Amino acid sequence: MVAVSGPSGAGKTRLITRLLPLLRRRGLTVAVIKHTGHPHGLDVPGKDTDLFIRAGAVAAAIQGPAGLAYFGPPTAGARAMARLLPPCDLILAEGWRSEPLPRLEVHRRAVEAAFLCATDRRVFALVSDEPAPRRLPTFDPDRLGPLADLLVARLARPGRRRRAAGRTS
């Protein structure tokens, strides 16, 4: 699991959506989880899952031919949420700043001058429009092939095993 972190508006979601096809072409199965500090109303009022929750269910899920939706209490962190996912090679975790995860920072000078990597040693790579304040592999946001290669190499390092059930180191 690799956290993709940076301030709101820096381009985390854009980076992930552009990186996913590159990782798939390299043979990886990838899942994405997202953490937000903002409340959201994903369930539709009046629909069955909403009615079940209002009636007292601790959680409700619905599955159709195109996918599954789960509505329930928050999990106890990124790893707990990852256990809900199907087996995969890599999980990209957008946000999750407080989680002790290896981290890819997305930085844009126009959004915020400060770098997360200046204080967070878990950051192992940077996608930025300016140089890092410390020595890190740094990638251009418009050229993500080398970043995909780095992520594949991290998965293949000796001593790292691919694990099932969504728990990838």
- Three-state SS annotation for 48-91: HHHHHHHCCCCCEEEEECCEEEEECCCCCCHHHHHCCCCCCCEE
Structure tokens at 140: 């251009």
pLDDT digits (tens, 9 = 90+) for 27-50: 999 999 988 776 666 777 888 888
In order of their start, the domains of the chain are 2-37+76-156 (3.40.50.300)
| Res. 169 pLDDT band, cuts 50 70 90 | very low
Write down the pLDDT at residue 160.
46
pLDDT band at 69 (very low <50, low <70, confident <90, very high): confident
pTM of the predicted structure, to 2 decimals: 0.84
Longest dimension (CA), the chain: 54
List the single range of 33-37, 111-115, 157-161 with lowest mean pLDDT.
157-161
